[in-house]
Amino acid sequence: MSARETAPEQVREEREGRFGPYGGRYVPETLIPALDELRDAWAEAREDPAFISRLELLRRDFIGRPTPLYLAERLSEQVGRKTYLKREDLAHTGAHKINNAIGQVLLALRMGKSRIIAETGAGQHGVATATACALLDTECVVYMGSEDIRRQRPNVERMKLMGAEIVAVEAGARTLKEAVSAAIRDWVANVADTHYVIGSAVGPAPFPDLVRDMQRVIGDESREQALAAEGALPGRVIACVGGGSNAIGIFAGFLDDEEVSLIGVEAAGEGLESGRHGAPLSGGTTSVLHGSLSAVIADGEGQIMEAHSVSAGLDYPGVGPEHAWLRDTGRATYVSVTDADALAAFRDLSRLEGIIPALETAHAFAWVTDEGRIGGSGYDVVSLSGRGDKDLAEVLGLESV
Amino acid sequence: MSEGGPATIAAAFREAEQEGRPALMPYLMGGFPDFETSSAIARAYVEGGADLIELGVPFSDPLADGPVIHEAATRALALGIGLGDVLKICAEVSGDVPVILMAYTNMILSGAGPADFASRAREAGAAGVIVPDLPLGTDESIRSELEAAGLSVVPLVAPTTEPGRRQGICGVATGFVYVVSDVGTTGERSEVPAHLAELVEDVSARSEVPVAVGFGIGSPEQAAEVGRIADGVIIGSRLVRLVADAGGREAAATAARDFLVQTREALAGARVG
């Protein structure tokens, strides 16, 4: 029909922001300029000594970094090998999420954005973002599924106390997936003055790269601390994987050390075969969710299915695209742990080490103390991604049933 | 259908233009509120004077859509509506007016992939596809495979799209260019945005194919206002809401037909002079 059919336009396929085939920017056109702007702003900021020194100062004096790498002796004895815990639970606000939130809010202010939005599942990212916004004096709106509001009440109160507005999301299963969708819709409508602080290494490019860059401080510190303590690299590095930001952060420090095995632990929920799980890497398919192509729990027609996990932070049917690529290339291995085993590990670690881990993190410990006892060599480093105070009511409620 | 999608769409816009009006392009969600009703609505659109029909394939997580269309998709999925059902509706009306499928990337990638999606869509008589989460530069192979099968792949231009990028988007457009009237998701707006005329004029100057405007058009009067500057007017959420509120199959079809008739009247002569 048109002249174009005889002389097709060559369009450049965007390769940046891809991890193998995964990643990309599957979003409404309205957001493309904002994603370009964010990519360019981060490329500039990371080379700006003033920005980096501000970020490093806040990491040290506000977050409390570096967090310790702690040799858990009683746990080591039980699993039969030395096990070190990277204590992200000791970071301000009680989880690794603050690393990303502080970095992104600083970046947003540098970009001239006056309003911050975020989604949250377990509430840890919401608290971290509300904290960063209070510190840096910026408006903060947090989207949260109403089911998660119910099961993570203390975190809701903390966010409100710090001045954040909480918007309850009632769509779907009223959990993290819908909260992310609601936040993206807000961003599409308010893109000029708003920055979306996504909480995990998911979403359209450049978010998976940006969040990994903000979280790789976990891995860089761990590597240095591990070498100082043992004079050798660990045999294995283990982290729980929901969206996968604490895992990609700690993995990033060891990616080039091929002798170090990287193990990601997903939520098997009621069991992979039950269909009620949060383990897209182990039991999902390749699909698009929230702007990127990755491992997703979806049906044969591409409809996203509801995830299930006792842990709100792992209750998500997608995962960061870099994890899908690390799985395919074999650089990392992904395993999964059921609700029941994670709950048992939650109690075990509390009694064994005097540390109440987040339910998310308890998945990693459940693997270390069970299947993980077999195989591997050298010593382990486990990412203790967050503290479990927020989960007490939920766990006690389940026990009473 | 013997002609390719681009030619079918071009003919529909030409016919409207010859009558001195913009093309009227109503949207419906396939399978909402149920299969039979949505099929009746598609026929009502034909009777009410639609020049092209935009037919939504329900998706669980439609990021470009506001609450009205999201809810319609959720309800259609709850009834078990799938791509096959939507294509049946497409086949029922595609002989009368060109049908453009509104399908998110997942609908196209799942199953046997883009080529299979395209051949099924062509068998049902679809003329084109709008993929609201597949901007220029992302997975260009999907666009190529759909076009190779004879479908128009209609790209979107947003108010935030920079001029250089507009040029690139217009360069790959087949069928028409879809200009998003305002930032935000689909849904009715109280006013037509002030910057819209400038944007449409710019896109029209860059595009070889017609330019249609959608997002936020909620009344025949707004349609007429937009119709003075655009080659086509897309009405979505307003009609989906009309159907949701109608209460019953007959009432829904009648309400949809009446709304289109009124809008066609309001659009008459909008493009003359």
Residue B160 contacts A, CB cutoff 8 Å: yes
Q: Which tens digits make up the pLDDT trace of B114-131? A: 999 999 999 999 999 999
Give me the total of CB pairs closer than 8 Å, taking one residue from chain A and one from chain B.
149
How much is the pTM?
0.95
Is A119 designated active site?
yes
Answer yes or no: CATH 3.20.20.70 is held by domain B5-267: yes
Would you state the pLDDT for residue B194?
A: 84
Q: Locate A125 and state its tokens.
A: 């990212």
B53-56 and B23-29 beta bridge pairing: parallel
A9 and B132: CB-CB below 8 Å?
A: no
Q: Cβ contacts (< 8 Å) between B174 and chain A: which residues? A: 1-2, 4
Q: Which tens digits make up the pLDDT trace of B120-175? A: 999 999 999 999 999 999 999 999 999 999 999 999 999 999 999 999 999 999 99
Would you state the pLDDT for residue B273?
A: 52
Is A97 designated active site?
yes
Amino acid of residue A319? V
Q: Locate A61 and state its tokens.
A: 């004096």
A8 phi, psi to nearest 5 deg: -65, 140
CA distances for B220 relative to A67, A148, B217, B225, B253, angstroms: 62, 42, 8, 9, 17
pLDDT of residue A25 exceeding 90, the answer is: yes
Q: Return the domain boundaries, chain B.
A: 5-267
Q: Cβ contacts (< 8 Å) between A189 and chain B: which residues? A: 183-185
A292-296 and A285-289 beta bridge pairing: antiparallel
pLDDT of residue B99 exceeding 90, the answer is: yes
A27 and B63: CB-CB below 8 Å?
A: yes
Which of A186, A286, A288 to mutate: most B Cβ within 10 Å? Answer: A288
At residue A6 the predicted structure's pLDDT band, cuts being 50, 70 and 90, is: very low
A240 forms beta bridges with A265
CA distances for A97 relative to A147, A193, A280, angstroms: 21, 23, 21
Q: What angle do CA A386, A327, A207 make, to 5 degrees?
A: 60
pLDDT of residue A12 exceeding 90, the answer is: no
A166 forms beta bridges with A142
Q: In this complex, which of B133, B183, B209 lies closest to A191 when CB atoms are compared?
A: B183
Q: CA torsion angle for B41, B84, B238, B53 (degrees, to 10)?
A: -70
- Rounded to whole angstroms, how far apart are CA atoms A329 and B226? 51
Query: What integer best gives the mean pLDDT of chain A?
Result: 94
Would you state the pLDDT for residue A133?
A: 98
Q: Which one of B51, B54, B145, B225 is the catalytic residue?
A: B54
Q: Which tens digits make up the pLDDT trace of A255-268? A: 999 999 999 999 99
Q: Which tens digits make up the pLDDT trace of B80-95? A: 999 999 999 999 999 9
Q: Which tens digits make up the pLDDT trace of A169-220? A: 998 888 899 999 999 999 999 999 999 999 999 999 999 999 999 999 999 9
Look up the ipTM and state it.
Answer: 0.96
Would you state the pLDDT for residue A181?
A: 93
The string of DSSP codes covering A298-327 is B-TTSPBPPP--SSGGG--SB--HHHHHHH
Q: Which one of B51, B65, B202, B225 is the catalytic residue?
A: B65
pLDDT of residue A2 exceeding 80, the answer is: no
For residue A382, the distance in angstroms to the closest alpha carbon of chain B comes to: 34
- Rounded to whole angstroms, how far apart are CA atoms A362 and A156? 22
Residue of A nearest to B142 (CA): A13
A140 forms beta bridges with A116
